[in-house]
Structure 1
Amino acid sequence: MKIYKRFCALLLALLAAALLLPVGASAAGSIDLGHTHSLTITAVYADMPISGLRFDAYLISTVDQYGELTVIDRYGAYAESLDIRGKNDMAWQNMAQALAREILLDPDLKPSRSAVTNSDGVAVFTDIPMGLYLVPGSTIRKNGYVYSTSPFFVMLPEQDLSSNTWNYNVVANAKPGQEPVRADYEVIKVWKDSCHKDQRPKSIAISLICDGEIYDTITLPHDGAWSYTWKNLDTNHQWTVTEKRENGYQDPKVQQEGNTFIVTNTCSKPTTPPQPDKPTLPQTGQLWWPVPVLIAAGLLFVVIGLVRRRGTIDEK
């Protein structure tokens, strides 16, 4: 039943193409399948060529000389997305996005051709068969920005309605968009306050600075942690953090490592009170042996004096 539904969807798609494209082919004449042809894709944003952007071209349907499309077998499973009943820009864009999602989710489906834009933002596909191509979106990161394109269809050859002819050298503009590169920035608080840890503040305020102006102010701890992360910030700006000086602490030191700011608070050590003067001790190496000798000699002289005095008293 599922195969039958897909087969019916494919038949409807081919029938719609048969009803529309042959009319154009008859008006513009038959397609010369032997004519030299080329496909060029340009990628320019605001007059700036985007180089290095890769484009993959998936051949969805071949085309015959009458302009009739035939879906390639490997894309038959996605025929429900190939509703080509008129070239309405919005309808084709939605169809291209839907089919691109299906193709990119299938690793077995490979592009028919690939090309990369040069310094002029131009990618040229050589030796490429005629038919209907799907070109999924491409992305590249350059100079702090992400340039991306949306998936689109391109027909080779292309009918030129103004001249009622077939254009065998098709140029498609991928129309890239620009978005800034974004990243997360984290701040981590480090305390060096073993000298008076009990005086640490309960919380502190840290401001995120963008190009010299305050962008946001948060309070730490946040959710119980001395850290915080700002999400999805534009990397094309200059980011830093600042914090007011806390009493009893030195000026906060901010160190940046990649997208992480480490803010260190170091306590101011208390002043050491002056110590009282200590008694002067004798110098080491001083001679102490004469002291007892002199004491003994003094005592001897005292004894001699007393004896002589007693003798004088007795003679009287």
Structure 2
Amino acid sequence: MIKLGKDIFSKIVSVAVAAVMVLTLLPGRSVSAADIDLSKKGSMTVIHHSADDEPLEGVKSRIYRVASVDASGKYTVLDEFSGCFSDSSFFNNGYDFDAWKSCVDGVKEYVKATNVKPYKEGVSDKQGKTYYEDLDLGVYLVISDNLVDKKFVHSFASFVYPVPLLERGKESEVMEWVYDVEVAPKKESVERIIDEEFVVYKRWSDSGYESNRPSEITVKIYCDSSVYKTVKLNSSNNWKYSWTYEPGHEWKLVETSTGNNYTASLSKSKDENKYTFVFTNTYNPPETPPGNPPEDPSEPVTPDLPSVLGAIRDLPEVLGARRLPQTGQLWWPLPILVLFGVFFIFKGIRKNSKA
């Protein structure tokens, strides 16, 4: 929505009237005003208001002295701006306000292209006024920057203006030179569309298991069900990504890679026009059966054997046997016991034969 200022044309008309008054200064014309006092300094107050005529504080502006003036009111373009005009007496060519206005864009481009330094710079106060004092007399180009607030972008037209200005006296019909002038540039205020701000963070809940974190994770950002962007979060970007976008859209974030044994949860918050998404990845250690410590792969594993005594089964060669002794039983005494048994049997037989 564009709001046009109430006095867009009022100032233009006033300057036009002043320009018509200045026509009397052309050579050969009789004037009722005295000559310009070149020993004086002038001043210019630039008034910056919104389209609703509310004072605007903080508007930056600059003025450039484009032409000088002599006692009779004749203007001469300064050498610094001679490249803008084919005729150094441009501002004397009929004192046509439309001609003055038509030169503004060209002078602005010239200032930008040649990096001409401003004569003075200023910032508007709470009343929307910028005061330029102690000015050499002549013609000035005034350029104001845009001012952006929470609701509007306020812009101002550039213009040229003379110091002093020939006006009719307040208490008489005599024309007189006014050395302290006030002027308000044409303005407009355009409603601002404020972009919303978004940020996504990655948080880790894995105390003691930090080494298990992946080097990066991938997040897909959806705007109105369509993929807006796929981003990677890692230590180089501090596990963070931010963006701005115009309001009125629905956003959804999906983490497509969480890391081994991690589960991801998403929280969302809003502060004015800023949205914050936080992915928290929680580590889930693998479960270990009670009483059975994790196997050490560096140690050989002995296969399970049945508890039945004397069971026959295939065993690794390193065991050197196919019959497994019972717990606490030793094989090496067995041959000795057999020999002792045979010895005692024979001894008993001999003893019985003697009897």
TM-score between the two structures when normalised by the length of structure 2: 0.49
- Are residues 239 and 171 of structure 1, via their aligned partners in 2, closer, same or farther at CA, if it must alter by over 3 Å? farther
Bigger Cα displacement from structure 2, 20-29 vs 95-104: 20-29
Mapped contact 1:28–1:159 kept (Cα < 8 A): no
Letter in 2 for 1:111: P
Mapped contact 1:42–1:173 kept (Cα < 8 A): yes
Provide Cα deviations, 1:9-49, integer angstroms capped at 9, x if missing partner.
xxxxxxxxx99724279677235425664211233446352
1:2-41 map, 5 Å: 21-23=22-24, 29-30=33-34, 32-33=36-37, 37-41=42-46
**Higher helix fraction: Structure 1 or Structure 2?**
1
Provide Cα deviations, 1:72-125, integer angstroms capped at 9, x if missing partner.
23323322495765224xx65442112110122113x33333333345443211
Larger gyration radius, structure 1 or structure 2: 2
Structure 1 distance, partners of 2:166, 2:335, is 137
Q: How big is the shift at 1:66?
A: 4.0
Is there any run of 5+ residues in structure 1 with no aligned partner, and where? 1-17, 188-203, 209-213, 223-228, 256-260, 281-287
1:218 maps to 2:227 = yes
1:46-65 map, 5 Å: 47=54, 49-51=56-58, 53-65=59-71
Aligned to 2:304: 279
Is there any run of 5+ residues in structure 2 with no aligned partner, and where? 1-18, 201-218, 232-240, 269-275, 290-294, 296-301, 306-326
1:207 maps to 2:222 = yes
Aligned to 2:298: none
Mapped contact 1:21–1:68 kept (Cα < 8 A): no
- Are residues 220 and 49 of structure 1, via their aligned partners in 2, closer, same or farther at CA, if it must alter by over 3 Å? closer
Structure 1 distance, partners of 2:258, 2:135, is 75
Letter in 2 for 1:218: V
- Are residues 251 and 106 of structure 1, via their aligned partners in 2, closer, same or farther at CA, if it must alter by over 3 Å? same
- Are residues 24 and 99 of structure 1, via their aligned partners in 2, closer, same or farther at CA, if it must alter by over 3 Å? same
Aligned to 1:42: 47
- Are residues 61 and 129 of structure 1, via their aligned partners in 2, closer, same or farther at CA, if it must alter by over 3 Å? same
Mapped contact 2:221–2:229 kept (Cα < 8 A): yes
1:267-306 map, 5 Å: 279=304, 291=330, 295=334, 298-299=337-338, 301-306=340-345
Mapped contact 2:43–2:133 kept (Cα < 8 A): yes
- Are residues 116 and 19 of structure 1, via their aligned partners in 2, closer, same or farther at CA, if it must alter by over 3 Å? closer
Mapped contact 1:43–1:176 kept (Cα < 8 A): no
Structure 2 distance, partners of 1:134, 1:176, is 19
Structure 2 distance, partners of 1:231, 1:98, is 38
Mapped contact 2:46–2:130 kept (Cα < 8 A): yes
Aligned to 1:132: 139
Q: How big is the shift at 1:55?
A: 2.7
Provide Cα deviations, 1:132-187, integer angstroms capped at 9, x if missing partner.
10123435677798765442212222344695654432122244756678899999
For residue 127 of structure 1, give the secondary structure of its aligned residue in structure 2. strand
1:152 maps to 2:156 = no
Mapped contact 1:138–1:148 kept (Cα < 8 A): yes
Mapped contact 2:152–2:189 kept (Cα < 8 A): no
Letter in 2 for 1:29: A
For residue 105 of structure 1, give the secondary structure of its aligned residue in structure 2. helix
Structure 2 distance, partners of 1:251, 1:205, is 14
2:78 to 59, 62, 72: 72
Mapped contact 1:205–1:217 kept (Cα < 8 A): no
1:170 to 154, 161, 181: 181
How large is the Cα RMSD of the aligned pairs?
A: 5.6
Structure 1 distance, partners of 2:32, 2:189, is 35
Aligned to 1:98: 106
Aligned to 2:311: none
Structure 2 distance, partners of 1:181, 1:135, is 29
Structure 1 distance, partners of 2:196, 2:258, is 35
